[in-house]
């Protein structure tokens, strides 16, 4: 028997945990967390389902060209040469006519982005947009607005935290395995946990305190917390005087935001707010009010994340042990960037980022605005789009609106390892090998234990699929970008490692190369450094305000109320699935074929619903987005319905996911136009829904009918 052990990187979700893969006779027998990883990792259920995914036949098995109208699902299998020739020729024709900027690269982002970005630079298009406006853009920009550092640049120092507040952050189900372990470790050492959510999650069940809020009212709660900290002198005066600006403005803006006022807005009792403030002050400065992750929910979600960090700062936790800490920077080894092979394109972006939105990050863009530009042809035509392991038709609101924009394209390519609505709607599908059968470029990880990490191919692909670098290399060769063409992946890795003194063999032993001998914790008395214009924590985000022209201390604006009979839409993740691309996984589909609609028992009773019933979920236009069971819980806010994102598939090629559950993206009407002015994130939950009982078990619900 031929056995080997391969260190690699999980690809079942965007967290990319380090793994070790045991291979027997060319088949994966076992996957486990890489025991050598700098952060205590492990494997979640989705990671364990990687083997089932690899062995699944219901995925694109070779390159496909569309052979009928878009979305009709008629395909012509072709060779890689034919597919890449086709894409290169069509792309050249678009670029000859409209300039290279006519290509939009829609990317799921992550640590392997250097190669696709270099490709776009080489062609001369600035239009790389990520999924971020539907995920963490508000958080990223709020971090920049308060400290100048981007999301993730400051380490959340759970090891020394004494009170952690998780607001709209479900750390034990919306997983980053290493982070979940850190939070458990902190709680084991006595860290207090407060959870603020609209429903009782697993994380809430483990918390010392659970505050249930009206969906979309968190900003009011945070303003009241700031009010109490200032009113009662519970904030760290010395820290605030030495390290912050904008305190007077903050105090004035929150002067009327009493706990009684917040109780009326949020439903959280004033006494609970007062208690939380005292608890926090007694743990200060070892306090983290988590800035959030998926914060594309309301038009004031940016402010929720901004004020979360302001509260941590008022308690002295920003820059300090047990709070949000900047790792030491000692000029460690860095990878050579492929992007440096080509100059940055000078032409402005179609989404306006960098010009109309000078504060926003050009590495992320505003994909919703790029799509609107695609539809209108202004400021210039976007005629080609490559969706790179990204599913805009599922991840952006209102798929009908997204399709209207995509109709303007002459070429739409999906590079993907599973079927998705986006792949189904594309002109060309270029199938990526699943992560167990492909390599990726070397990735870099920062934090206290900075390291390089490598995804190695554990097995050969079962079908005619290719790795990222092979696909981009194939296109680059046809488009004259010779510097991105590598015969062997080792040559590409060697290019990245130039100047570091390392070779690819350095990854053989553990899959990881640590860059520092000791954790990069700053000395306790090290001066704090922030990247804002003032060099301090800007409690009023004056620098961001000057650049965006958006008021950084706006009064609370309650989220729009649903009409009588309708409920507020809320959604999120569950531990057994990743977004929309694991619903057809043979193992995970068996464990969890559909996510139920969570509602309060009294709400259910008012709608004539009882445990065991099934419902169809309709959007504000009265269109049905699928059906599912209901889960009754006293902890859910009575005005809300909670859905797990990613269900409601209608692709005939996905037999296990077909017709199961609800497609929450279809419930968000006009969503492409709803964004937070401060952070650019989409307001995906500013939508309401109605529930309709499925009358008999045998009746065909709309999701099943494929409507």
Ligand X SMILES: Nc1nc2c(c(=O)[nH]1)N[C@H]1C(S)=C(S)[C@@H](COP(=O)(O)OP(=O)(O)OC[C@H]3O[C@@H](n4cnc5c(=O)[nH]c(N)nc54)[C@H](O)[C@@H]3O)O[C@H]1N2
The Cα–Cα gap between 206 and 196 comes to 12
Interface with ligand SF4 (CB under 6 A): 10, 12-13, 15-17, 43-44, 46-47, 175, 177
User: Does residue 170 belong to the site contacting ligand X (CB under 6 A)?
Assistant: yes
Among 87, 180, 294, 353, binds ligand X (CB under 6 A): 294
Give the β-pairing of 3-9 and 18-24: antiparallel
198, two tokens? 């609209």
Residues 245, 286, 262: CA angle, nearest 5 degrees: 65
- Closest CB to ligand X among 164 and 515? 164
Q: x-or-dash pattern for ligand X, window 541-570, by CB under 6 A? A: -----------------------------x
The answer to whether the CB of 522 falls within 8 A of the CB of 325 is: yes
User: Does residue 138 belong to the site contacting ligand X (CB under 6 A)?
Assistant: no
171, two tokens? 């750390």
By a kind-dependent CB cut-off of 5 to 8 A, residue 43 interacts, out of Mo ion, ligand SF4, ligand X, none, with ligand SF4
By a kind-dependent CB cut-off of 5 to 8 A, residue 457 interacts, out of ligand X, ligand SF4, Mo ion, none, with none
Place of tokens 């234990």: 449
By a kind-dependent CB cut-off of 5 to 8 A, residue 589 interacts, out of Mo ion, ligand X, ligand SF4, none, with none
16 φψ region: left (φ > 0), alpha (ψ -120 to 50), beta (else): left
DSSP secondary structure string for all residues of 13-70: STT--EEEEEEETTEEEEEEE-TT-SS-----HHHHTHHHHHT-SSS--S-EEE-SST
- Closest CB to ligand X among 197 and 538? 197
CB of 131 to Mo ion, least distance (A): 7
By a kind-dependent CB cut-off of 5 to 8 A, residue 10 interacts, out of ligand SF4, ligand X, Mo ion, none, with ligand SF4
573, two tokens? 């993740």
Among 12, 13, 135, 576, binds Mo ion (CB under 5 A): 135
The answer to whether the CB of 651 falls within 8 A of the CB of 419 is: yes
By a kind-dependent CB cut-off of 5 to 8 A, residue 17 interacts, out of ligand SF4, Mo ion, ligand X, none, with ligand SF4
By a kind-dependent CB cut-off of 5 to 8 A, residue 645 interacts, out of Mo ion, ligand SF4, ligand X, none, with ligand X
User: Does residue 169 belong to the site contacting ligand X (CB under 6 A)?
Assistant: yes
CB of 14 to Mo ion, least distance (A): 7
Within 10 A of 93 (CB to CB), how many other CB atoms are there?
A: 14
DSSP state of 164: E
- Closest CB to ligand X among 8 and 665? 665
- Closest CB to ligand SF4 among 10 and 156? 10
User: Does residue 639 belong to the site contacting ligand X (CB under 6 A)?
Assistant: no
CB of 577 to ligand X, least distance (A): 6
Residue sitting closest to ligand X (CB) = 572
Residues in the interface with Mo ion (CB under 5 A) total: 1
Among the listed residues 82, 13, 1, the one whose alpha carbon sits nearest the alpha carbon of residue 430: 82
Which window, 134-142, 365-373, 394-402, 545-553, contacts Mo ion (CB under 5 A)?
A: 134-142
Among 7, 544, 571, 647, binds ligand X (CB under 6 A): 571
The answer to whether the CB of 395 falls within 8 A of the CB of 134 is: yes
- Closest CB to ligand X among 552 and 592? 592
Within 10 A of 699 (CB to CB), how many other CB atoms are there?
A: 12
- Closest CB to Mo ion among 397 and 522? 397
User: Does residue 469 belong to the site contacting ligand X (CB under 6 A)?
Assistant: no
Helix axes 114-123, 468-478, angle to 10 degrees: 10
CB of 582 to ligand SF4, least distance (A): 8
By a kind-dependent CB cut-off of 5 to 8 A, residue 63 interacts, out of Mo ion, ligand X, ligand SF4, none, with none
By a kind-dependent CB cut-off of 5 to 8 A, residue 522 interacts, out of Mo ion, ligand SF4, ligand X, none, with none
The Cα–Cα gap between 648 and 628 comes to 9
The Cα–Cα gap between 436 and 441 comes to 14
DSSP secondary structure string for all residues of 426-491: -SEEEEBPPGGG-----EEE-SSS-EEE-PPP-S--SSS-B-HHHHHHHHHHHTT-GGG--SSHHH
Backbone phi, then psi, for 550, in 5-degree steps? -105, 130
Chain residues binding ligand X by CB under 6 A are 11, 13-14, 108, 131, 134-136, 167-170, 174-175, 196-199, 201, 213, 215-216, 218, 293-294, 297, 389-391, 394-395, 416-418, 420, 432, 435, 570-573, 575, 577-581, 642, 645, 664-665, 684-685
């Amino acid at each position: 028997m031929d056995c080997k052990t391969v260190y690699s990187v999980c690809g079942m979700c965007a967290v990319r945990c380090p793994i070790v893969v045991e291979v027997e006779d060319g088949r994966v027998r076992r996957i486990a967390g890489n025991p050598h990883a700098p952060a205590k990792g492990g494997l979640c259920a989705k990671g364990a389902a990687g083997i089932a995914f690899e062995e699944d036949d219901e995925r694109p098995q070779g390159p496909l060209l569309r052979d009928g109208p878009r979305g009709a699902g008629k395909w012509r299998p072709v060779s890689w040469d034919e597919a890449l020739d086709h894409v290169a020729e069509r792309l050249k024709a678009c670029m000859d006519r409209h300039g290279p900027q006519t290509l939009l690269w829609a990317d799921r982002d992550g640590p392997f982005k250097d190669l696709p970005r270099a490709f776009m630079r080489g062609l001369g298009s600035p239009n790389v947009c990520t999924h971020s406006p539907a995920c963490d853009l508000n958080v990223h920009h709020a971090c920049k607005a308060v400290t100048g550092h981007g999301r993730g640049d400051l380490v959340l120092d759970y090891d020394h935290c004494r009170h952690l507040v998780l607001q709209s952050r479900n750390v034990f189900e919306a997983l980053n395995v290493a982070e979940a372990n850190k939070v458990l470790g902190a709680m084991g050492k006595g860290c207090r946990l407060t959870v603020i959510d609209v429903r009782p999650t697993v994380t809430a069940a483990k918390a010392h305190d659970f505050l249930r809020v009206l969906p979309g009212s968190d900003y009011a709660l945070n303003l009241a917390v700031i009010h109490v900290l200032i009113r009662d002198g519970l904030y760290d005066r010395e820290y605030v005087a030495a390290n912050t600006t904008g305190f007077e403005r903050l105090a004035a803006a929150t002067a009327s935001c009493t706990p009684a006022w917040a109780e009326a807005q949020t439903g959280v009792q004033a006494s609970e707010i007062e208690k939380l403030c005292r608890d926090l002050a007694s743990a200060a400065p070892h306090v983290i009010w988590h800035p959030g992750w998926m914060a594309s929910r309301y038009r004031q979600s940016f402010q929720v994340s901004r004020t979360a960090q302001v509260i941590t700062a008022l308690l002295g936790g920003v820059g300090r042990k047990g709070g949000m800490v900047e790792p030491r920077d000692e000029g460690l080894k860095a990878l050579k960037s492929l992007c440096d092979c080509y100059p940055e394109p000078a032409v402005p972006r179609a989404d306006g980022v960098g010009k109309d939105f000078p504060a926003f990050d050009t590495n992320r863009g505003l994909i919703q605005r790029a799509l609107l530009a695609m539809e209108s042809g202004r400021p210039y035509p976007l005629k080609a789009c490559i969706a790179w392991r990204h599913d805009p038709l599922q991840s952006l609101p209102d798929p009908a609106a997204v399709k209207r924009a995509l109709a303007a394209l002459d070429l739409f390519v999906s590079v993907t390892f599973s079927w998705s609505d986006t792949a189904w709607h594309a002109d060309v599908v270029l199938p990526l090998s699943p992560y167990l059968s492909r390599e990726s470029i070397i990735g870099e990880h920062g934090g206290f234990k900075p390291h390089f990490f490598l995804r190695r191919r554990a097995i050969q692909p079962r079908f005619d699929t290719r790795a990222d670098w092979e696909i981009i290399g194939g296109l680059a060769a046809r488009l004259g970008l010779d510097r991105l063409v590598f015969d062997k992946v080792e040559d590409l890795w060697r290019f990245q490692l130039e100047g570091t003194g390392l070779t690819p063999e350095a990854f053989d032993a553990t899959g990881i190369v640590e860059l520092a001998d000791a954790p990069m914790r700053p000395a306790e008395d090290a001066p704090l450094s922030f990247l804002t214009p003032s060099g301090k924590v800007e409690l009023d985000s004056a620098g961001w305000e000057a650049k965006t022209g958006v008021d950084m201390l706006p009064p609370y604006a309650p989220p729009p109320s649903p009409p009588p009979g309708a409920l507020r839409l809320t959604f999120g993740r569950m531990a057994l699935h990743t977004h929309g691309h694991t619903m057809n996984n043979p193992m995970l589909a068996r464990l969890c074929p559909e996510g139920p609609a969570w509602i309060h028992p009294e709400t259910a009773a008012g709608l004539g619903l009882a445990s065991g019933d099934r419902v169809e979920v309709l959007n504000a236009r009265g269109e049905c987005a699928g059906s599912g069971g209901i889960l009754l819980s006293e902890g859910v806010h009575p005005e809300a319905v909670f859905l797990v994102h990613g269900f409601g598939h209608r692709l005939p090629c996905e037999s296990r996911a077909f017709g199961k559950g609800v497609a929450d993206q279809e419930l968000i009407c006009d969503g492409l136009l709803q964004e937070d002015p401060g952070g650019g994130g989409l307001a995906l939950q500013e939508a309401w829904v109605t529930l309709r009982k499925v009358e008999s078990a045998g009746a065909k619900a709309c999701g099943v009918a494929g409507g």
